[in-house]
Amino acid sequence: MLVIVAPGQGAQTPGFLTPWLADPTFAARFEWLSTVAGLDLVHYGTEADAATIQDTSIAQPLLVATGLVAALELFPHPADAFERIAAVAGHSVGELTAAAGARAITAEQAMVLVRERGKAMAAAAAATPTGMTAVLGGDREDVLATLARHGLVAANDNGPGQVVAAGTREQLDALQADPPTKARLMPLSVAGAFHTEHMAPAVGHLAGLARSVSVHDPRTRVISNRDGQVVHSGADLLARIVGQIASPVRWDLCLETMADLGVTGILEMPPAGTLTGIAKRFFAGAGVETFALKTPDQLDEARAFVERHGEVGSRSGLDTSPTWRMVVSPSKGTFHRSEAAADAHVLAPGTTIGDVASLRDRIAVTAAHGGQVVEWLVEDGDPVAPGQPLLRLHPAGAA
C-alpha cells in the first residue's frame, strides 16, 4: 500500500531545483505555476541563497510548485496514479500540494492560495518577535509539560523524539535555560511561530479567499494534519488547510493513520528527505519502505517503487462516479450507526450517520452531500479502517 507525502517549509535548499529544470517539460510547467504565483520561482529554486528562500512568502510557493510539477513527472498519466495511491498527505504547507494532487483543488488554485498563505503568514510573523525550536529526544510527557510551563505550543508533533516548540522569543529563551531532561534543543531558521495563535490574522485572510474557491471531493484518501483523519470532502479539506495555519501539525497522528491503512511504502516528493527520515524512525522494524525523491535521475527508480507498493483496484483510488457517492470512515475504530440514519431512506446534506469510536476519541461521521440511501456497507458495531466505505448514497436530483 503506497502513500505519497509532500514536505513542508524548511525542506528547501539553495539550488535544489536546478537538475529538474533541465527537462523542458518540467521547466515549462514550472514557469506556468510561477506566473500564476506572480513570483520568479525559477530564480529562487536555482540562484537564490539560503536566507532568501527562507522567506515564508517565497519558500511556500516554491515548495508547492515543485511538488506538483514533480508529481506529473512521476505520474505522466495522473488518472492511472489514483489506482495505485492509497493515500496522500502533506506536512503543513505540503497539504496544499496533497490537496491539488488529489484533485480537490486545481494546481492554479493551490498556487494562488499558497502565495496568499505565505504573504499573510510572513506579515503575521513580523507583528511579534516569535520563533520555533525543535526538541529532539527526551521523555514525551516531560517535553510537553516543559513546553506548557514556558507557555509554548507543540506546533509540530512529528512522532517519537521530535516535537517543535513555538512561541515568543522570551518563551523560547526560557526553554533554552530550562530544557526538558535528556532532550536536545535546535533553534529553527523560520520567521515566526507557525501553527500557533500568532498566525490567527493569516487564517482570517485565507478564509476569505477560500470562500471563492470551487472544490471537488478528493480522488484518493487525504490524511489531515489536524488529527490524522482521512478526509473525503473537498470543502472539509479546504477548511482544515485554512485552519491549520494557526493549529498544531499532528504528523504523529498522520503516521498512525498510515499504519492503520497498512502502508508498505512511503514516497516523498521533492525536495525530499525530511518526512522519509521521520517515517524511518516511526516505522523502524515494521517493514515499511521509504523513498526520498530528490533529483530527476531517480525517477525510474521511483516508478519502480510505485509499481512495487501501489495497488491496482478499488482499495486505492476512490470511485468518483456521478451516479452515487460514498461516505467513508475518517479513522480506525468501531462504527456506531445512528438510529435516525439507520431507518432513513433519504438523508439531508450534513446528516450525522453515526460515529467512529477509538481509544483516543469518538468522531461523528456526516453525509456531507446527502442523498438517497443505496446500501449500508457496514453494520452497527463493525470495526472500520481509515477511509473504509460506510454508506453508498444516490445524489438527490441525479438521473
pLDDT tens digit sequence for 41-68? 999 999 999 999 999 999 999 999 999 9
- Listed by start position, the domains of the chain span 2-124+197-309, 127-187, 325-394
CATH of domain 325-394: 2.40.50.100
322: pLDDT strictly greater than 80: no
Q: Read off the pLDDT of each residue in 167-194 and give the average, rounded to a whole number.
A: 94
Q: Has 329 been annotated as catalytic?
A: no
Q: Tens digit of pLDDT for each residue in 100-129?
A: 999 999 999 999 999 999 999 999 999 999
CA 173-138-10 angle, to 5 degrees, is: 60
* Contact in structure between 372 and 345 (CB atoms under 8 Å): yes
The reported pTM is 0.89
Q: Confirm whether 127-187 and 325-394 share one CATH topology.
A: no
Catalytic residue among 57, 92, 233, 329: 92
Q: Tens digit of pLDDT for each residue in 117-165?
A: 999 999 999 999 999 999 999 999 999 999 999 999 999 999 888 999 9
H-type alpha helices, the chain: 24-37, 41-46, 50-54, 56-74, 78-81, 94-101, 107-127, 140-149, 169-177, 200-210, 234-243, 251-261, 274-282, 299-309, 339-343
Q: Has 338 been annotated as catalytic?
A: no
Tell the CATH topology of 127-187: Alpha-Beta Plaits (3.30.70)
Catalytic residue among 91, 150, 195, 205: 195
CA dist list (Å): 67 to 58, 90, 157, 256: 15, 10, 23, 23
Residue 271, preceding peptide bond in cis (omega within 30° of 0): yes
The confidence score (pLDDT) of residue 321 equals: 47
Going by pLDDT thresholds of 50, 70 and 90, the confidence category of residue 82 is confident
The confidence score (pLDDT) of residue 323 equals: 55
The confidence score (pLDDT) of residue 314 equals: 42
* CATH architecture for residues 2-124+197-309: 3-Layer(aba) Sandwich (3.40)
The confidence score (pLDDT) of residue 207 equals: 96
